[in-house]
Structure 1
């Protein structure tokens, strides 16, 4: 028997039953799919991805307790949680909402998504945050020319290409190596580096001993905060990166009446405007603009968000 991987249990018979289960699930027969996955996991009980799939079939069969139990097994087998099982448990109401998603989950999500990211997000989901954020900056910052710009969560470089002509030096940070590779292909960044914005400033990866603190006069974060719950680390990183008097432009999914942050069934976080303003102020920022907008579509429905422009106090 070979070592278990994410996509294979390492047991041929277990994999075959899992494949049949997938076919049944594809036809909408989640109850039968769940039964077959249970049989597969009897043969390969330490297959974390298999338990995650079983939990999915249980949830779609209306068995939330069974789904939560399966997800707990996933966490037991894969504590780094590349599947986002802890987020799913919280969405099911069987656990507390994490203050941030597991870094390994976000990294893997976007590593897997990198090849089709722009086609899926821009062409199919009408994603428009980079363009709208750039427009917000150009409308409200008089000079709109910057000596140094840091693009947090730069992804494939959609914001980078819109700010390049206004930036003497442009650096981008992302958790996903595959997304950084796509951004590198555009040849618009002067520096690209891997970083985890959920960590403290000295652990995050955005600081380089050869580059000074407070070096950026503009920091952007387009569609990044929805992959963070508690925003204190993000604002702390930004406050150390940005120069006094510099600007921070970012977007959030709008939590509406909820004044803190909430975890949506999409496994993305939404933030209340008052909460964002509070965390920004605590880190030394003044919010200059807060603008409601539609940031993308999800299952054909508009996803409402907010664009913010803040300045760091001198």
Structure 2
């Protein structure tokens, strides 16, 4: 995983107490760590990193009301919410589900970029692109259509793992990712004709009607709460007969929840309804785990749809 984010308080003593608290936390002395963090935020009341760390410790100690208070203070101290404190508030039921703060996603993946492939492939056993590729081949074969595409868009392209899986089947890839660090890694692959730093929705909104034959989103939709707006744009940007392929994490319910890994999980009924609302035709909805957490496969879905 990426290095933890640290935003200095500007107070040397408060920063030192934060570092001592983190050492105690690593050694398992959560109560002493929490005490030091309380001292740090007393010295520097706008110390976002200390409030966030305190929130996590309070949650781990089962003190959920105190955790909610600390996470709210972290959000107030850093309105961009680069730590993602609001996600923990959603997880604790203190806030309604909403999309992730853009600054959090960008910061997370900028930190993650240098070792992203190693962490994803080696540590998490990531296999999303290969599963998506096989699913697209199967759907196209069943429809008696070739699995070759002239113009493709890779949403949340990351370092280019998705494009690499489809490289021999796509003439021209455009990659879109919110993280400049990820875009630089993707640029080094030589797989993309164009690369853009943007979120998925705005990236699609900038594209012309019927300008893509294929749209890919491998392990990217897990960072969106509501998929409706993105899928509506997918429907607009695809040519008639064009294909979209993406993965989501899932759960047994109908709607959207936020999981322990701070990613959204979308129920199968929600996926079906949202695909239909976007004017797309569902071609495949397959149960598949594209990654592991703690060596345990994470429940997921592979989704293939087309524009009529």
Common fold: TM-score over 0.5: yes
Superposition deviation, residue 282 in structure 1: 0.7
Q: Distance in 2 between matches of 1:177 and 1:44?
A: 31
Superposition deviation, residue 105 in structure 1: 1.0
Counterpart of 1:181 (choices 180, 184, 191) is: 184
Superposition deviation, residue 95 in structure 1: 2.3
Counterpart of 1:294 (choices 289, 298, 304) is: 289
Q: Distance in 2 between matches of 1:191 and 1:207?
A: 16
Unpaired stretches in structure 2, ≥5 consecutive residues = none
- For residues 272-292 of structure 1, the C-alpha deviation after alignment (integer angstroms, 9 at most, x for no partner) is 111111111111101011111
Secondary structure, aligned partner of 1:132: helix
Query: Contact between 2:155 and 2:220, CA under 8 Å: does it hold in 1?
Result: yes
Q: Distance in 1 between matches of 2:260 and 2:20?
A: 27
Counterpart of 1:254 (choices 250, 256, 261) is: 250
Secondary structure, aligned partner of 1:288: strand
Counterpart of 1:149 (choices 148, 152, 155) is: 152
Q: Find out whether 1:205 has 2:203 as its counterpart.
A: yes
Query: Contact between 2:147 and 2:169, CA under 8 Å: does it hold in 1?
Result: yes
Query: Contact between 1:151 and 1:221, CA under 8 Å: does it hold in 2?
Result: yes
Secondary structure, aligned partner of 1:307: strand
The match for 1:195 is 198
Superposition deviation, residue 94 in structure 1: 2.1
Query: Contact between 1:6 and 1:47, CA under 8 Å: does it hold in 2?
Result: no
Query: Contact between 1:195 and 1:206, CA under 8 Å: does it hold in 2?
Result: no
Q: Taking structure 2 as the reference length, what is the TM-score of the superposition?
A: 0.94
Secondary structure, aligned partner of 1:180: helix
Query: Contact between 2:150 and 2:170, CA under 8 Å: does it hold in 1?
Result: yes
Query: Contact between 1:193 and 1:206, CA under 8 Å: does it hold in 2?
Result: no
Secondary structure, aligned partner of 2:188: helix
Q: Find out whether 1:47 has 2:43 as its counterpart.
A: no
RMSD over aligned Cα atoms: 1.4
Q: Taking structure 1 as the reference length, what is the TM-score of the superposition?
A: 0.92
Unpaired stretches in structure 1, ≥5 consecutive residues = none
Secondary structure, aligned partner of 1:169: strand
Q: Distance in 1 between matches of 2:237 and 2:177?
A: 15
- For residues 189-232 of structure 1, the C-alpha deviation after alignment (integer angstroms, 9 at most, x for no partner) is 111112212x4xxxx03354xx6321111111111111111111
Secondary structure, aligned partner of 2:183: helix
